[in-house]
């Protein structure tokens, strides 16, 4: 490791951050845990765990319906979480923030409501070659229902995607552009603002799958110029079972409900039901109350740290990992675009990614192996699977070293 590469990012005390995440002090197979799978799901700070415990031990009741004290405090905490999300992404109003169970549900919601109402045979949806299955399959279901078509923007060998390719594919038939903000396999940060401008110039709407994007950078939905933005709480240091759909108010107003049930209605008779305004219109049934509160606590936590310094720290980890991994014989890095977030896929000659991940696990190193829910991308890359290390605010340069050492050992075992 070079002295420069190992220099700590000023103003970012990763040792202090690590003490906020209790799980990081445990061992696995007798080795210190080296958790490099945060792109799949991030670990949780104590503040989030405490907020969840507090909600269940002190403030728990169903929301929106009770006239008693506990239901009011529970409702207040749930709605306070919505305000935290609103401020975090700079949405114009609370009614633009819909809680879902995750990004997957949020995309399915848009496909099933906006898609079925506004798209028809002959219309086109533009995706990229790097999309997660969550941002492919819902559009295929829509295609099969209404007869629209999917157009795919290609990816370059280094994992970058050219805006010029969007300009070729987006046209008068395009009704929707549905793309990742950041690729979960390659780490590529897509030039979403420019793509949004192209979409709008063609009269189309744009939905951003922000699962990986919101984790690594500040998101301002208004500045991004998108129409829909979705993400999952569990990748943002919050709990599972909670996600967010943000959409422009006029779009949510125009969309029919996704599911019917309690809480989403204005009035119900057997003859006719009218809907509550957004966001309630899209939150049928008892919502993930405590999960939303937990997400609010995760946002509070992120607001309490220097996020710009955290992003710089992650970038330093990524650059160091890329340099160190590249020195391993037989190593091929997958995803080397200039503008990328702290996610690195790779393949190692002669070692299947699954075997590699299993051997690394014996050293306490958690990485992901497989197609990462991006089978079409794997086909384009000509691989069946990759191994992926992903870095979060709590990872260290020493953990990058541990990964590299474990990979070298794995090579001895497997080759």
Question: CB of 299: closest distance to ligand PMP in angstroms?
Answer: 17
Q: Which listed residue (44, 64, 86, 132) binds ligand PMP by CB under 6 A?
A: 132
Q: Which stretch binds ligand PMP (CB under 6 A): 54-62, 69-77, 102-110, 114-122?
A: 102-110
Counting contacts by CB under 6 A, is residue 184 touching ligand PMP?
Answer: yes
- Whether a cis peptide bond, with omega within 30° of 0, leads into 279 is yes
* Residue appearing with tokens 């107003």: 253
Of residues 323, 352, 317, the one with CA closest to residue 336: 323
Of residues 343, 386, 400, the one with CA closest to residue 213: 343
112-131 footprint of ligand PMP as x/- string (CB under 6 A): --------------------
Of residues 91, 87, 81, the one with CA closest to residue 292: 81
| Cβ proximity to ligand PMP, 109 vs 311, nearer residue | 109
Q: Which listed residue (51, 85, 103, 400) binds ligand PMP by CB under 6 A?
A: 103
| Cβ proximity to ligand PMP, 130 vs 333, nearer residue | 130
Which 267-306 positions form the footprint of ligand PMP (CB under 6 A)?
none
For the chain, first and last CA: distance in Å? 25
Phi and psi angles of residue 31, each rounded to the nearest 5 degrees, phi first: -115, 150
Counting contacts by CB under 6 A, is residue 180 touching ligand PMP?
Answer: yes
Which 360-389 positions form the footprint of ligand PMP (CB under 6 A)?
373
Question: CB of 290: closest distance to ligand PMP in angstroms?
Answer: 17
Counting contacts by CB under 6 A, is residue 24 touching ligand PMP?
Answer: no
CB contact at 8 A, 185 and 386:
yes
* Token pair for 89: 């992404």
Give residue 100's region: left, alpha or beta (phi > 0; psi -120 to 50): beta
Question: CB of 327: closest distance to ligand PMP in angstroms?
Answer: 28
CA atoms within 13 A on the CB side of 377: 34
Counting contacts by CB under 6 A, is residue 359 touching ligand PMP?
Answer: no
CA distance linking residue 196 with residue 222, whole number of Å: 11
| Cβ proximity to ligand PMP, 132 vs 143, nearer residue | 132
Question: CB of 216: closest distance to ligand PMP in angstroms?
Answer: 12
Please say whether the dihedral angle defined by the alpha carbons of residues 320, 321, 322 and 324, taken in this order, is positive or negative: positive
Please count the helices (runs of H) and the strands (runs of E) in the chain.
Answer: 17, 17
Counting contacts by CB under 6 A, is residue 393 touching ligand PMP?
Answer: no
Q: Which stretch binds ligand PMP (CB under 6 A): 209-217, 218-226, 303-311, 391-399?
A: 209-217
Any residues with CB less than 8 A from the CB of 91 and at least 6 apart, and which? 85, 97, 221, 222, 246
Counting contacts by CB under 6 A, is residue 37 touching ligand PMP?
Answer: no
Q: Which listed residue (212, 345, 396, 411) binds ligand PMP by CB under 6 A?
A: 212
| Cβ proximity to ligand PMP, 17 vs 180, nearer residue | 180
Q: Which stretch binds ligand PMP (CB under 6 A): 99-107, 114-122, 267-275, 390-398?
A: 99-107
Question: CB of 349: closest distance to ligand PMP in angstroms?
Answer: 27
H helix intervals, 93-191: 103-110, 116-118, 137-146, 163-169
Give residue 140's region: left, alpha or beta (phi > 0; psi -120 to 50): alpha
Counting contacts by CB under 6 A, is residue 104 touching ligand PMP?
Answer: yes
Question: CB of 248: closest distance to ligand PMP in angstroms?
Answer: 21
CA distance linking residue 413 with residue 318, whole number of Å: 26
Number of chain positions touching ligand PMP (CB under 6 A): 14
Question: CB of 280: closest distance to ligand PMP in angstroms?
Answer: 22
| Cβ proximity to ligand PMP, 75 vs 183, nearer residue | 183
DSSP 298-367: HHHHHHHS-HHHHHHHHHHHHHHHHHHHHTSTTEEEE---SSB-SEEEEEETTB-HHHHHHHHHHTTEE-
Q: Which listed residue (232, 291, 344, 395) binds ligand PMP by CB under 6 A?
A: 232
Counting contacts by CB under 6 A, is residue 241 touching ligand PMP?
Answer: no
Show which residues are catalytic. 373
Q: Which listed residue (9, 113, 134, 363) binds ligand PMP by CB under 6 A?
A: 134
* Token pair for 345: 């896929």
Binding site for ligand PMP (CB under 6 A): 40, 102-104, 132, 134-135, 180, 184, 209, 211-212, 232, 373
């Amino acid at each position: 490791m070079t002295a420069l590469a190992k220099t700590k990012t000023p103003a970012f005390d990763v040792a202090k951050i690590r003490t906020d995440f209790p799980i990081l002090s445990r061992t696995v197979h007798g080795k210190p845990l080296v958790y490099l799978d945060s792109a799949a799901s991030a670990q949780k700070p104590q503040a989030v765990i405490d907020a969840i415990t507090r909600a269940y031990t002190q403030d728990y009741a169903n929301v929106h319906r009770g006239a008693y004290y506990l239901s009011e405090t529970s409702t207040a905490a749930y709605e306070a979480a919505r305000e935290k999300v609103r401020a975090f992404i700079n949405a114009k109003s609370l009614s633009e923030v819909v809680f879902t169970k995750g990004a997957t549900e949020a995309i399915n919601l848009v496909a099933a409501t906006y898609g079925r109402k506004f798209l028809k045979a002959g219309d086109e949806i533009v995706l990229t070659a790097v999309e997660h299955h969550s941002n492919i399959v819902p559009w295929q279901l829509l295609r099969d229902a209404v007869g629209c078509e999917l157009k795919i923007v290609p990816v370059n060998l280094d994992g970058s995607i050219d805006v010029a390719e969007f300009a070729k594919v987006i046209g008068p038939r395009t009704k929707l552009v549905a793309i990742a903000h950041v690729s979960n396999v390659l780490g590529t940060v897509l030039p979403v603002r420019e793509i949004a401008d192209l979409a709008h110039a063609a009269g189309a709407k744009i939905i951003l799958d922000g699962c990986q994007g919101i984790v690594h950078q500040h998101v301002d939905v208004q500045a991004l110029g998108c129409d829909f933005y979705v993400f999952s709480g569990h990748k943002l240091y919050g709990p599972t079972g909670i996600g967010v759909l943000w959409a422009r108010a006029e779009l949510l107003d125009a969309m029919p409900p996704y599911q019917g049930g309690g809480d989403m209605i204005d009035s119900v008779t057997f003859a006719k039901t009218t809907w509550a305004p957004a966001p309630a219109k899209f939150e049928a049934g008892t919502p993930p109350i405590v999960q939303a509160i937990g997400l609010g606590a995760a946002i509070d936590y992120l607001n309490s740290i220097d996020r710009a310094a955290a992003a710089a720290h992650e970038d330093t980890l990524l650059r160091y990992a890329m340099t160190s991994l590249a020195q391993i014989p037989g190593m091929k890095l997958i995803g080397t675009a200039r503008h990328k977030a702290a996610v690195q896929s790779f393949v190692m000659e002669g070692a299947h990614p699954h075997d590699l991940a299993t051997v690394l696990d014996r050293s306490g190193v958690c990485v992901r192996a497989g197609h990462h829910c991006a089978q079409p991308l794997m086909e384009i890359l000509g691989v069946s699977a990759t191994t992926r290390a992903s870095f979060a605010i709590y990872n260290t340069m020493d953990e990058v070293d541990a990964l590299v050492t474990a990979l070298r050992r794995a090579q001895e075992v497997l080759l």
